[in-house]
Amino acid sequence: MADRQITHASEEDIRNETLMIWVNGRVVPKAEATVSVYDSGFMLGDGVWEGLRLYDGRWSFLDEHMDRLFEAAKAIDLDIGLDRAGVVAALEQTRAANDMTTDAHARLMVTRGVKTRPFQHPALSRQGPTIVIIMEHSTPKIARPVRLATVPHLRGLPMTQDPKLNSHSKLNCILACIAAEKAGADEALMLDIHGFVNTTNACNFFIVRKGAVWTSTGDYCMNGITRQKVIDLCRANDIPVFERNFSLVDTYGADEAFLTGTFGAQTPVSEIDGRQIGDGRMGPVTQRLRALYKALVTP
Ligand SMILES: Cc1ncc(COP(=O)(O)O)c(C=O)c1O
């Protein structure tokens, strides 16, 4: 599609061609950074990950990211093999190897590791986890506010691959994204099992109605760190904020809509299912929250 806009778009940066990547304790050039074809992550999507950002020499919300990583690993019964200090040291090693100080994004991935045979049973993963950190120079750049399309793929109940898990198996979200693209949109707006508006395939979702900020109850979606920071910022700055159920009727009629995520912070939405949201441009509440969030990550 000629007018394609992905929510994780960033400025071209030639330095990203020659990155150093952390693979199981070694920092190696991008071209040599590989994992086994027997890896549990490659074979089965059996792993968890975190996306983090570095601004002005500081990892944003590092404690929250470490909490979520270790919680997810525990939930899938995966021993990361490093304690929190060890994971942070690995991030720092990657940062230093790439001489990065700001505007960088890290994807930290932990899988159940190399399997002895190519089958599902976790007991076949006997060699310890595979840990990889890809860190890129990354300044988000979107040419225009994003367009969303509602898709048939739902955010499920927690007993079916809890949507709170940042797992390597993203197929439900990927199918949602494909459906949205085929409908001419950039990203998918996903409903929960009751039909309430929940989240997008890769970001959390907010609307603004009459000066108040609404987001889903938090059930069925990723417990996004940026989502929580936006809620906290609203509360600290006397912006009414509600975590509640709402429908597509409320959503189409919103004055503003935006997405949140570590990568893009707050990304404006111009259109949902062919309905223009507000005047189709970034609205004043979204602008204000972006400024407040920027001040939070770059004090
Ligand atoms: C499905 C989904 N929703 C939302 C988010 C945003 O979460 P955060 O704000 O912690 O980056 C992510 C990021 O990992 C995600 O995968």
Phi, psi dihedrals of residue 186, rounded to the nearest 5°: -95, -35
Looking at the structure, do residues 173 and 127 belong to the same domain, yes or no? no
Average pLDDT over residues 128-138: 97
Q: Give percent above pLDDT 90 in the chain.
A: 94
How far apart, in whole angstroms, are the C-alpha atoms of residue 15 and residue 48? Answer: 27
Say whether pLDDT at 163 is over 60.
Answer: yes
Looking at the structure, do residues 83 and 180 belong to the same domain, yes or no? no
> Can you say whether the dihedral through the CA atoms of 58, 34, 162, 290 is positive or negative?
positive
Identify the pLDDT of residue 4.
75
Ligand 1 atom closest to Cα of 163?
Answer: 1
Looking at the structure, do residues 197 and 217 belong to the same domain, yes or no? yes
Looking at the structure, do residues 116 and 163 belong to the same domain, yes or no? no
Whole-number average pLDDT of the chain: 96
Instruction: Determine contact, residues 166/225, Cβ cutoff 8 Å.
Output: no
Ordered DSSP codes for 183-208: TT-SEEEEEBTTS-EEEESSSEEEEE
For residue 79, give the CATH number of its domain: 3.30.470.10
CA–centroid distance, 200 to ligand 1, in Å, is 9
Q: What is the pLDDT of residues 33-90, one digit of tens each?
A: 999 999 999 999 999 999 999 999 999 999 999 999 999 999 999 999 999 999 999 9
Average pLDDT over residues 135-148: 93
4-13, 202-211, 252-261, 285-294: which has the minimum mean pLDDT? 4-13
> CB-based contacts of 118: which residues, under 8 Å, 6+ apart?
38, 43
Which residue's CA lies nearest to atom 5 of ligand 1? 203
Residue 1 lies in a domain: no
Cα radius of gyration (the chain): 19
Q: Which of 137, 165, 187 is the last residue of a domain?
A: 137
Instruction: Determine contact, residues 7/202, Cβ cutoff 8 Å.
Output: yes
How far apart, in whole angstroms, are the C-alpha atoms of residue 65 and residue 115? Answer: 27
Q: What is the pLDDT of residues 206-223, one digit of tens each?
A: 999 999 999 999 999 999
How far apart, in whole angstroms, are the C-alpha atoms of residue 50 and residue 167? Answer: 9
Looking at the structure, do residues 129 and 150 belong to the same domain, yes or no? no
CA–centroid distance, 256 to ligand 1, in Å, is 20
Looking at the structure, do residues 287 and 166 belong to the same domain, yes or no? yes
The count of residues in the chain is: 299
- Pocket, ligand 1, Cβ cutoff 6 A: 51, 166, 173, 199, 202-204, 222, 224-227, 260-262
How far apart, in whole angstroms, are the C-alpha atoms of residue 202 and residue 216? Answer: 15
Which residue's CA lies nearest to atom 7 of ligand 1? 224
The residue whose CB lies within 8 Å of the most ligand 1 atoms, and thus the one to mutate among 7, 262, 263, 296, is 262
Residue 18 lies in a domain: yes
Task: Quote the Cα angle for 205-206-209, to 5°.
Answer: 155
Domain tally for the chain? 2
Task: Quote the Cα angle for 49-26-135, to 5°.
Answer: 45
Q: Which of 108, 137, 166 is the last residue of a domain?
A: 137
Instruction: Determine contact, residues 251/195, Cβ cutoff 8 Å.
Output: no
Identify the pLDDT of residue 22.
98
User: pLDDT band at residue 186, thresholds of 50, 70 and 90?
Assistant: very high
Instruction: Give the three-class secondary structure for 57.
Output: coil
Residue 3 lies in a domain: no
Instruction: Determine contact, residues 216/196, Cβ cutoff 8 Å.
Output: yes
User: pLDDT band at residue 142, thresholds of 50, 70 and 90?
Assistant: confident
Identify the pLDDT of residue 299.
80
Which residue's CA lies nearest to atom 6 of ligand 1? 261
Identify the pLDDT of residue 11.
87
User: pLDDT band at residue 118, thresholds of 50, 70 and 90?
Assistant: very high
How far apart, in whole angstroms, are the C-alpha atoms of residue 31 and residue 100? Answer: 19
Looking at the structure, do residues 116 and 150 belong to the same domain, yes or no? no
Which residue's CA lies nearest to atom 15 of ligand 1? 202
Looking at the structure, do residues 81 and 196 belong to the same domain, yes or no? no
Q: Which of 94, 118, 137 is the last residue of a domain?
A: 137
Beta-bridged to residue 115, according to DSSP, are: 125
Looking at the structure, do residues 40 and 92 belong to the same domain, yes or no? yes
Identify the pLDDT of residue 158.
95
Range of the domain at 218: 146-297
Q: What is the pLDDT of residues 1-19, one digit of tens each?
A: 447 777 888 888 899 999 9
